[in-house]
Amino acid sequence: MHYNCNSAGYYIRCYLITDKLYLKVIKKGFYNMVPRSSYTKKRLVESLLKLMKKGKRFDDISIQDIVEEGGFSRMAYYRNFKTKADILRYHFDVITEDFIKETNTDFYKMPFEEYLTSVFTYLFNNRELSKILLETRLFDYVKEQFDLKLIKTAHTEEERIRFIYFAGGLFNIYYHWLLSDGKQTPQEIAKIVAAYVPRP
């Protein structure tokens, strides 16, 4: 069973598959099958970030602003998030999880400096989100999740302790790098860290 609709330049067909509603999202000839909740969350994230890029302060953005920007109802918003901060937390969780999945298998295979370069390149590419989290007093959440997601990849207690040490140092380097507006390149930061910080 399916039905069609259009939303903000997207052509959407909804399918009921094994009792779960999926959306076939089509834009410019490309399509992807995604769970409805994931699609809605992604669009709400986009709406909030668009508003902030337009110069609106996070504290001044209302739920109504977000749903109007994305073309959603307030009901759709509250089905997925309780607060505006939840949107930023969700977005950070998604991109961090993707990054760890991509790099975790390469941790011991890659030269340490090369691995660190990939880490700092990722952080550099997402610095605008980090600045928003810093401005909205949610940066502690970044550290908390950064620790949890890295440490849970450890296989032994010894490895877990090494990862705690490594994650704490890495986070603090990133924090001060962010405050300096990323004056050094990811490659420069990685070279310094690799020279003075032991590999966990």
- The string of pLDDT tens digits covering residues 66-104 is 999 989 889 999 999 999 889 988 888 887 777 777 666
Contact 22, 34 (CB under 8 A): yes
Contact criterion met (CB below 8 Å) for 44 and 80: yes
11 pLDDT band, cuts 50/70/90, is very low
Q: Nearest to residue 146, comparing CAs of 109, 187, 100?
A: 100
For the chain, the distance separating the N- and C-terminal CA atoms, rounded to the nearest angstrom, is: 52
Specify the pTM.
0.63
Rounded mean pLDDT, 45-61: 88
The per-residue pLDDT for range 133-160, each reduced to its tens digit, is 777 777 777 777 767 777 777 788 888 8
pLDDT in tens, 182-193: 788 999 999 998
